[in-house]
Structure 1
Amino acid sequence: MADMLRLERRDCHGDLSLNLPELSISLRKNTGIGMVQKSQPVSDDQVIAFNKEASFSLPLQSCRVVKDEQGGEICSISPTMWFVQTDYEKINSYIQQINTLGHDRSIIATNMSDQIVCLEVSGTRAIEFFSKGCSLDFRKNTFPVGHSARSLLGQANVVFNHIDVNKYHLLLDISLLDYLWKWMRETSLEFTFG
């Protein structure tokens, strides 16, 4: 009988963090990320019914991010797709709940923790930093706290979640992390001189 293959999550990126005047960038460690999708056309009523049974809510509006009572973040990046972000140890309970309650509603979830990573960018100069490689308008009246958007940053596809005043979580494919980190390091050089 063949031995079972045991996969183990490893952090091979070391310490990815930059702390500059009024700007901080870091890789969020031990983050679990799940992707939730509507596998077939699902009405808002079905999502509302799901939300009543679940211990958290999927935002009905696109481009929104909400926090739940357990500290998880749920962002709606399209009418048919959400990302759930929480501690790595908790992500499987979210996914199990979604797949159990969403099964009859064609709502499914997949653990993407080994494919998607989260960078946290915070500080009063975050918007200025983003403007060096992204065309989104991050001013508070057009991209307020609680909003989410997908765009390019330094030519890398990123989901921006505006979590708090001057605080953003960026979700991206792990294959782009080294490239984007290099771009961020190089771009941040001008911020070291105030």
Structure 2
Amino acid sequence: MLNIASKSMQAQRIGPIPTRLLQQSSNLKTLKLSDQSFRGKFILWGNPEDSHFTDAVFTATGLTLPQQSGEVTQAGAFRAIWANPQRWYLICEEQEEATLANKLAQSGQVYMSVTDGQCCFHLQGQASVDLLKKGCSLNFSETTFPPEQCLQTRLAITKVFLHRHSVDSFDIYVERSYSEYIWSWLLDAAKEYNH
């Protein structure tokens, strides 16, 4: 079963954003928008009060699972994002996806790959907060939404996870079916700052 999963991850993937829209992002001057959708993304389910579950995940991945909304933890190449009281997103770079899948399988827990169903865009630049405020009602003060937190919200009426890496650096996780819409919205909203 692990061999099948590993082989499927090596298959040629097609990115969610058409080349013409990717090229438009290269014209941005004060903001940087990049497609990071090939990162490995998994959903993990379990009971955080069950020490057998949390210990197995920690032994396999090194991750201590976050326990509250907004929390993000990291161990080496792996990151865990709180999604709800019994569900987490586990994230890694593309080259680590097969490794994380194998470690999750070794842990014996219930998980599912959503790499091809969930997209990730990285937005960075001094105007990134102002841009996001155009389509999002979150309070972006560093007290309310500090760096290294991830919050679920709506951006341009679409459900997303925003992971804030620093004051002006964000990962935007969105379902693939809405990815082209959100990418186009971000490009359009960025025009104001393109000077």
Question: C-alpha distance in 2, partners of 1:158/1:114?
Answer: 16
CA deviation vs aligned residue, 1:82-118 (integer Å, no higher than 9, x gap): 11221223223212322322x3xxx421111111110
Match of 1:87 in 2: 93
Match of 1:130 in 2: 132
**More helix, by proportion:** 2
The partner residue of 1:66 within 63, 73, 88 is 73
Check conservation: 1:75, 1:148, Cα contact below 8 A: yes
CA shift for structure 1 position 132: 0.0
Alignment length (residue pairs): 182
CA shift for structure 1 position 119: 0.3
5+ residue gaps, structure 1, are 1-5
- Work out the percentage of aligned pairs sharing the same amino acid: 20
TM-score of the superposed pair, with normalisation by structure 1: 0.82
5+ residue gaps, structure 2, are 1-7
Match of 1:168 in 2: 170
Listed as ranges, the matches of 1:1-194 within 5 Å are 8-11=12-15, 13=17, 14=19, 15=22, 17-18=25-26, 20-28=28-36, 30-38=38-46, 41-43=47-49, 45-57=51-63, 58-70=65-77, 72-101=78-107, 103=108, 107-193=109-195
What is the RMSD computed on CA atoms of the aligned residues?
Answer: 2.4
TM-score of the superposed pair, with normalisation by structure 2: 0.81
Runs of 4+ off more than 6 Å:
none
